[in-house]
Amino acid sequence: MHPDLERLISLQRLDTAAHEAERRLADEPERETALEARLTSARQEVAAAKERLAENQNARRAIEKDVAMHQGRLSKFREQAMAVKTNQEYHAIQKEIGFAQGEIKTLEDAVLERMLEADELTSALKRAEAALASEQKAIDADRKAMAAEHAELHASLEQLRAERAEIVRTLDPHALRIFEQVSKKRHGVAVAEARDGICTICHVRLRPQVFNTIRKNEEIIQCDHCNRILYFVRTPAQPATDAVTQPAQ
Q: Give the residues lining the site for Zn ion (CB under 5 A).
A: 199, 202, 223, 225-226
Q: Closest separation between CB of residue 206 and Zn ion, Å?
A: 8
Q: Closest separation between CB of residue 176 and Zn ion, Å?
A: 20
Cα atoms found within 13 Å of the Cα of residue 206, Cβ hemisphere only:
30
- Closest to Zn ion by CB, 196 vs 242, is 196
- Closest to Zn ion by CB, 190 vs 226, is 226
- Closest to Zn ion by CB, 177 vs 225, is 225
Q: Closest separation between CB of residue 162 and Zn ion, Å?
A: 30
Give, to the nearest 10 degrees, the angle between helix 3-83 and helix 87-170: 170
Q: Closest separation between CB of residue 226 and Zn ion, Å?
A: 3
Q: Closest separation between CB of residue 227 and Zn ion, Å?
A: 7
Q: Closest separation between CB of residue 177 and Zn ion, Å?
A: 19
The answer to whether the beta carbons of residues 106 and 150 sit under 8 Å apart is: no
- Closest to Zn ion by CB, 137 vs 225, is 225
- Closest to Zn ion by CB, 139 vs 201, is 201
Q: Closest separation between CB of residue 174 and Zn ion, Å?
A: 20
- Closest to Zn ion by CB, 10 vs 227, is 227
- Closest to Zn ion by CB, 126 vs 185, is 185
The answer to whether the beta carbons of residues 130 and 45 sit under 8 Å apart is: no
